Structure 1
Amino acid sequence: MQRSLPLLVLLLALWVTTRAQAQTKYLTKAGLVSFFSATPIEDIEARNQQVAAVLDFGTGQLAFSLPVKGFVFKRTLMQEHFNENYMESDKFPKATFAGRFVNFDAAALATAGPHNVQVEGDLTVHGVTRRVQVPASVELKSGQLLASATFPVAPADYNIEIPMLVRNSIAKVMTVRVVLSCPPAPGAVGAAPRPTN
């Protein structure tokens, strides 16, 4: 009986580890990415609620992908120009990000309240990939992982050409906002470590 005790302890430890890993992944297919730019003629604003994202508390990695044609504008004509003249959405149908939390500490993030973090990774827009680092906020609340970030993006950095006719009327930098509310991934046995006070 005593010989089987170490094996039992090992199996129990493996089971606990497997459960903990299953609990660390959060995902959504309905995240939000929006952008805004104030211009002398008309403010430019669009929202995309077709963002697929996965955040892994076990590894500190995260990724998201969105269809460029998922951006919705107030004016249909502006939406057409965005897809045809600027983003060339048929040629470059998706925008993606793949990266990680910098100096990731899962235990600290499991405590109650929002936490300010840095996220670093590769942002691909219009077929161009650039390394970016942006501030973000993450929080475990009611079994969901909430994440948000606001950061600037310059269209010129991604070879997005602005037609000469409106070049001086459009801001050179857009403010991009990401808002994610991610439940545990299917197959997870519950939330990651519950927030503590």
Structure 2
Amino acid sequence: MKLHILLFSFLFTIVVSGQERFLTKQGYTSFFSSAPVEDIKADNNQVLSIIDTSTGTIAIAILMKSFMFEKSLMQEHFNENYVESDKYPKAKFKGQILNFNSLDQNEQEVTIDGNITIHGVTQKLETLAKITRTTDHISVQGSFPLKIADFNIKIPSVVVNNIAEIVEVSFALDHKPYKK
């Protein structure tokens, strides 16, 4: 009998701790730059994100070379000249989904507060997002403006009219329970 109780306790601990983290490896993010000369949009479907449901902590990692552009030359300039992907391969975010533990299973608006690192520069970021939480999935969607100069990304004067000073970043992350 003691063995059954011990075994049940052990399995319950594994199941509960396994449900504390939700993960996606195919999250989506994009950015859009609207400038007088042209609009630029890039999409990335290889975003890694994890949510710890016990704390409401969210962490996101984005491989910069995974952004896809309409024109290959734009993608080349983005990686080589602007974000310097070889030197700074990832953008990262780590923060808190405020009041996470009080969320129910309906879609709700939440505040996410944390730090974003791009091009080796970390800045504070607070944004609103829509979140839907069930027992087997957590979906987080939203957008926020990002000022390029805040991350020491230099735009050459030759193309300054082609790229907006502020880009709109959008994200859609559909997390599933993390199974080790």
- Tell me what 1:100 maps to: 96
TM-score w.r.t. structure 2 length?
Answer: 0.89
Q: Is the 8 A contact 1:113 1:140 kept in 2?
A: yes
Structure label with greater radius of gyration:
1
Q: 1:105 to 1:89 in 2, by over 3 A?
A: closer
Q: Is the 8 A contact 2:36 2:161 kept in 1?
A: no
Q: Secondary structure at the match of 1:88?
A: coil
- Tell me what 1:161 maps to: 154
Equivalent residue pairs, number? 178
Is the aligned partner of 1:121 residue 2:114?
yes
Q: Is the 8 A contact 1:21 1:58 kept in 2?
A: no
| Aligned mates of 1:150, 1:163 — CA distance in 2 | 27
Counterpart selection for 1:179 from 168, 172, 178: 172
Q: Which runs of 5+ in 1 are unaligned?
A: 188-197
Q: Secondary structure at the match of 1:83?
A: helix
- Tell me what 1:59 maps to: 55
Read off the aligned partner of 1:95 and give its amino acid letter.
Answer: A
TM-score w.r.t. structure 1 length?
Answer: 0.82
| Aligned mates of 2:100, 2:87 — CA distance in 1 | 39
- Tell me what 2:27 maps to: 31
Q: Is the 8 A contact 1:68 1:94 kept in 2?
A: yes
- Tell me what 1:48 maps to: 44
Q: Secondary structure at the match of 1:90?
A: coil
- Tell me what 1:82 maps to: 78
Q: Which runs of 5+ in 2 are unaligned?
A: none
* Range 138-147 or range 159-168, more displaced: 138-147
